[in-house]
Amino acid sequence: MSYITAIGTANPPHRHSQQQIADFMVKTTQRKGDDARKLKTLYRATGIEHRYSVLADYGRSFDFSFYSNTEDLEPFPSTRKRLELYRTHALKLSLDAVQQCLGTRSTDEITHLIVVSCTGMYAPGLDIDLVNALGLSRQVERLCINFMGCYAAINALRQADTICRAEPDASVLVVCTELCSIHFQKEATEDNLLANALFADGSAALLVRGRPDRGLNLKPVSFFCDLAPAAEQDMAWTVGDLGFEMKLSTYVPDVIRQGIKSLTHRLLDKIGLSQHQIAYYAIHPGGKKIIESIETELGLTRKDTQHSHEVLKNYGNMSSPTVVFVLQQLSRQLNGVDDGQNILSFAFGPGLTLESMILKIENH
């Protein structure tokens, strides 16, 4: 068995309103007239009010620290420069999330470390930096999950569950850190306009143990993964010369809508549950239309998905940590009355991959 015994989240210091970011995008993509108005309408329609970034630039009119102070932003930052920025900021943000997760717990108990990211990499990597900064044992077993995108936290939890089932004394620290905002692309393609309107920076940490702690625990019951290969090119993440390039088609909500009911039924059938036995939902808020598509297909209300909407509103889409932010917000409302009830969680990413899991609420 395994149990999520603690969750922590963190964001970088620069909090920008969606309106500020829209103004930045209008100016730097040199859009005027109707094009400028359409872009600002897109930003208002996202359901996002604020996002966080390691960069101050998105809240400035034209006095940038990372991007060039020229009208066309040239020379535009190379992939190398962006990954240097990732290396500068990823560790601090990760440590903030871990500190909130562990609190006063000793790091001596950590036996395994799983690090998730799709927005930067280097070697020796973030995993080893965390070992050194946290004072973990040099024998801690490490696993890095890279380039899986928004659904990677569920994949990491599946691996942590497998470890704890094999080693009941294990304590697995999972850290998901993404700096999506460092990969801003100025070319005004549909993919870039959508990605620039949604993505943000954040980190989340979870402690998964083979035995429950006192208080609230979330017990993984089952996982299920599916692919929608016909939509493989509708969501993708590639390395370009000027950063990582996101492909995010407007068809993604429709693809998820078409597959979500089948995914849900197969996950529930796997463990002999029906949807009316699900008390709560923790849905990755990939975008407002994605949440609304799932609500329609599964017959959910805004109350069922309130935490997903709140995370999207206050943080945007941070890729892999985002669903953990939703779980954390949901956990704060749980109490002894919820003991034994089930949480259904979804996340989506390149492939097009649909990941899901059932968590049972346990209080000890």
For residue 352, pLDDT beyond 90: no
Instruction: Supply the pLDDT for residue 337.
Output: 82
Q: Report pLDDT digits (tens) over 20-52.
A: 999 999 988 888 899 899 999 999 999 999 999
Hey, which bits of the chain come out as E strands?
A: 3-10, 14-17, 50-53, 112-117, 141-146, 171-179, 201-209, 216-227, 235-240, 243-248, 278-283, 342-349, 353-363
Paired strand residues for 243: 240
Beta strands 216-227; 235-240: pairing state: unpaired
Highest-scoring range by mean pLDDT, 52-61, 216-225, 245-254: 216-225
Locus of tokens 């993708």 = 236
Instruction: Supply the pLDDT for residue 238.
Output: 85
Hey, which bits of 196-240 come out as E strands?
A: 201-209, 216-227, 235-240
> Is 335 or 67 the better-scoring residue by pLDDT?
67
pTM: 0.96
Among residues 171, 164, 72, 156, the alpha carbon closest in space to that of 118 is found at 156
**Residue 13 dihedral angles phi and psi, to the nearest 5°:** -75, -20
Please give the average per-residue pLDDT across 348-355, as a whole number.
85
For residue 5, pLDDT beyond 60: yes
d(CA 349, CA 226): 11
Q: Out of 18-22, 87-91, 166-170, 229-233, pick the least confident.
A: 229-233
Q: Report pLDDT digits (tens) over 155-198.
A: 999 999 999 999 999 999 999 999 999 999 988 888 888 889 99
d(CA 330, CA 13): 24
- Scored b (16 or more CB within 10 A) or e, 110-124 reads bbbbbbbbbbbbeee
Q: Report pLDDT digits (tens) over 93-129.
A: 999 999 999 999 999 999 999 999 999 999 999 999 9
The CATH number assigned to the domain with range 216-363 reads: 3.40.47.10
Instruction: Provide the token pair at 123.
Output: 């070697």
Instruction: Supply the pLDDT for residue 232.
Output: 64
Instruction: Provide the token pair at 146.
Output: 């890279």
Terminal alpha carbon distance of the chain? 15
Please give the average per-residue pLDDT across 244-250, as a whole number.
75
Q: Where are the domains of the chain?
A: 216-363
Residues 287 and 255 sit within 8 Å (Cβ to Cβ): no
Q: Out of 57-61, 319-323, 329-333, 338-342, pick the least confident.
A: 57-61
Q: Report pLDDT digits (tens) over 250-274.
A: 657 777 777 788 888 888 999 899 9
